[in-house]
A and B are shown apart, each in its own frame.
Chain A
Amino acid sequence: MGKVLTLEVLLSKEIEYLLEAEEYKEKQKLPSERELAEYFHVQRLTIRAALQILVQKGILISKERYGYFIAPKRVRFTLNHTNSFKMMIERMGKTSYVKLLEFEKMKITETLAKKTLLAEGTEMYRIMRLRYGNKEPIALEKSYIVCDLAKDLSEEDVHNKSLYETLKKKYRLFITHSSHRVSVVYANGLEAELLKVSPSKPLIKYQGLAYEKKGRLLEYFETVLLSDKIEFIIQKN
């Protein structure tokens, strides 16, 4: 196999392949170190180092004296399809729920005007919701909708409902273009409290601008997600 990769790294990859090929499920137990060492014809210490790499990557969980298990799967968040978050969570076999925290009509702030390039004085609905997967908070979603495009949007329209579905059905607004940005931030007080994590825990910040069919800006959103619960997927077109 050559010396380009260390034996431990190569082995960790071969174990990954094995787990995929044999369709190991979430929380399933792996064969013992001894069995794996025999299977791959290597020393137990080498197997242990390889397994450790997979623990580090969050693929496996090690429980002392019990062995290695497949870690809980992350929610696969597909970026280039307009699937709803609800659907993505449910596809992982988890229940999805979204709780409305705040809903208000407001004048655009200076920061927001800079981000959206909308005129001063533009009115927007500010919607803050907390997203749960299997009853655990998973994301805090802030969305700003241009009032003129969705007149009389109400709390009932967005409480435990898909915002995009409402925009489609009630206002015939279809999002045809959006630009997105992903970065890492550290939880502020409010985020830490709502997402039940310690302050300064790294979170994924996912921001974007969404435009409707006629090219008018409809929404600016800013979502923070628990970084260890999410995996982003970008499929080829």
Chain B
Amino acid sequence: MSSTMQVQEPLYIKFQDIIMKKIEAGEYLPGEKLPSERVLAELYGINRMTVKSAVHALETKGYLYRSQGKGTFVQKKDFHRLNLGLLSESENLGITAMVKSQGVKISNKILTRGVISGSHYFSSKLQIDFEKPIYSLHRIRYGNEEPIAVEYTYVPYQSFPGIELIDFKNVSLYDYMDSKGRMPVTFEQKFQIIEVSKKEGKYLELDQGQVVYYFEMVGLDENNTIVEYTESYTRTDKAEFIFEING
């Protein structure tokens, strides 16, 4: 590794390119914490000053951001469009959630995560065998610290080995799925407006009797394999949904 670094270009530029490529390739995901400068220096056999200059340059370029006392993170792409598990980056693939105000900073809270099995309901939604493990990830999505949605997501565990190691507080699920080549690109969705239950009401800070959007959706990857089943509850005062129809 270190021999390839000994070139005419300033070392920090070379190193900066490596990190940029890793971000673009999805090896480092948006929101993911970068290893510490010390670890990076050891990893690439370069000195810490070089790492520091490269990281600083990438911050200026908007690839990374520093959070006081927490470390350096990969920048998230877009704050305006809320990826509520409903957004398709490509066109016309599903319904898109729009946060009603601009410049909203999205954050997540993990409610619970882990493997489940032996559910007829979820295995039939994912179209996998009854005994197969399912990874479930339950999150509250916040916009500017206010709750917007609760999402209960289920993915076939065997398609995503190692998913339990990903930091979904900071990394988007779709960025992760994309990095595995299993990003959902088409969706079957249905939604209703229902009165919020006590449980989701608590998460969303809503009183009983108030309504929410309730979504159920199945996401399929490029090979038409189901990679995701999600149920979500979204506050009606925070988001609306848009979509385009052709033909």
- A contact residues vs B (CB 8 Å cutoff): 1-5, 10, 13-14, 16-18, 21, 53, 56-58, 74, 76, 79-82, 176-184, 202, 204, 227-228, 230-237
State which residues 87-146 of B face A: CB under 8 Å.
92-95, 112-122, 124, 136, 138
- Chain B hits for A74, CB < 8 A: 192
Partner of A202, one of B92, B120, B124, B193: B193
13 A-B residue pairs with Cβ-Cβ distance under 8 Å, sorted by A, are: A4-B113, A80-B245, A178-B244, A179-B242, A179-B243, A180-B243, A181-B240, A181-B241, A183-B236, A233-B190, A236-B93, A236-B187, A236-B220
Whole-angstrom distance between the Cβ of B137 and the nearest chain A Cβ: 9
> Count of A-B contacts with CB under 8 A?
118
Partner of B116, one of A2, A14, A56, A177: A2
For A74, give the chain B residue with the smallest CB separation: B192
* Docked pose: A178 CA to B116 CA in angstroms: 41
- Chain B hits for A234, CB < 8 A: 94-95, 187-190, 243
- Whether a CB of chain A sits under 8 angstroms from the CB of B75 is no
**Would B245 and A14 count as touching, CB distance under 8 A?**
no
- Chain A hits for B195, CB < 8 A: 56
- Whether a CB of chain A sits under 8 angstroms from the CB of B173 is no
- Chain B hits for A18, CB < 8 A: 120
- Chain B hits for A3, CB < 8 A: 114
For A236, give the chain B residue with the smallest CB separation: B186
Binding site secondary structure of chain B: strand
- Chain B hits for A183, CB < 8 A: 236, 240-241
Q: What are the interface flags for B199-233 relative to A under an 8 Å C-beta threshold, 1 for contact and 0 otherwise?
A: 00000000000010110000010000000000000
* Docked pose: A58 CA to B212 CA in angstroms: 13
Whole-angstrom distance between the Cβ of A149 and the nearest chain B Cβ: 19
- Whether a CB of chain A sits under 8 angstroms from the CB of B247 is yes
- Whether a CB of chain A sits under 8 angstroms from the CB of B197 is yes
* Docked pose: A1 CA to B191 CA in angstroms: 28
**Would B192 and A231 count as touching, CB distance under 8 A?**
yes
* Docked pose: A237 CA to B246 CA in angstroms: 10
* Docked pose: A230 CA to B241 CA in angstroms: 16
- Whether a CB of chain A sits under 8 angstroms from the CB of B18 is no
**Would B242 and A180 count as touching, CB distance under 8 A?**
yes
For B185, give the chain A residue with the smallest CB separation: A236
Total number of B residues with any Cβ neighbor in A under 8 Å: 43
What 11 additional pairs, Cβ within 8 angstroms, besides A4-B114, A227-B192? A4-B113, A5-B116, A13-B119, A14-B121, A80-B243, A182-B240, A183-B236, A202-B211, A228-B194, A231-B192, A233-B189
* Docked pose: A202 CA to B193 CA in angstroms: 9
Partner of A176, one of B197, B236, B247: B247
- B contact residues vs A (CB 8 Å cutoff): 92-95, 112-122, 124, 136, 138, 186-195, 197, 211, 213-214, 220, 236-237, 240-247
**Would A184 and B197 count as touching, CB distance under 8 A?**
no
Query: Given A79-B243, A237-B186, A231–B121 Cβ distance below 8 Å?
Result: no
**Would A56 and B197 count as touching, CB distance under 8 A?**
yes
**Would B188 and A2 count as touching, CB distance under 8 A?**
no
Partner of B188, one of A179, A227, A236: A236
Query: Given A4-B113, A234-B190, A57–B214 Cβ distance below 8 Å?
Result: yes
**Would B191 and A231 count as touching, CB distance under 8 A?**
yes
**Would B187 and A176 count as touching, CB distance under 8 A?**
no
Query: Given A80-B243, A202-B193, A232-B190, A184–B119 Cβ distance below 8 Å?
Result: no
Whole-angstrom distance between the Cβ of B103 and the nearest chain A Cβ: 20
Query: Given A231-B190, A234-B95, A237-B186, A177–B244 Cβ distance below 8 Å?
Result: yes
Whole-angstrom distance between the Cβ of B230 and the nearest chain A Cβ: 13
**Would B193 and A227 count as touching, CB distance under 8 A?**
yes
Whole-angstrom distance between the Cβ of A207 and the nearest chain B Cβ: 10
- Chain A hits for B197, CB < 8 A: 53, 56-57
**Would A184 and B236 count as touching, CB distance under 8 A?**
yes
